[in-house]
Amino acid sequence: MRDTLSLINGFRGIRGSMIMSKDGFLIVADVKDRTDVESIAAYASAIIIEINRAWPKLNIGEFKMFSVTGDEGRIIFYNTGRAVLVVFLDLSVKMTIFEDELRSAAREIERKIKF
């Protein structure tokens, strides 16, 4: 799965990515310019757990993708089926183009996950 993250991270403006279980455990990470991957994973885990708790109450169907945008970047949470792909990106990344890559990566991750 690290190869899938490497492909994602090869896009201009991508700061890193990780795959997490739906209950918030880090499976694999490839995060650039960040030394404390465990802390980042813990924050992402809290968000994933809250999404999974709250999403059904919104009555908008199954969780597919959720993004958080700040002044200097964006975090995408993409449901792969059995896991969540988390991608850290610059605001310069055009989501209409990158979303196709997310879907492709999600299919690849789902194919490789063995739990």
Domain count, the chain: 1
Q: What pLDDT digit, counting tens, does each position of 27-86 carry?
A: 999 987 666 788 888 888 898 888 888 988 999 988 889 899 999 999 999 999 888 999
Structure tokens at 9: 């991270």
Instruction: Identify which of 1, 51, 61, 43 has the alpha carbon closest to the alpha carbon of residue 22.
Output: 51
Domain CATH for 101: 3.30.450.30
For residue 32, what are the domain limits? 2-112
**pLDDT value of residue 42:** 87
- Please give the model's pTM, rounded to 2 decimal places: 0.87
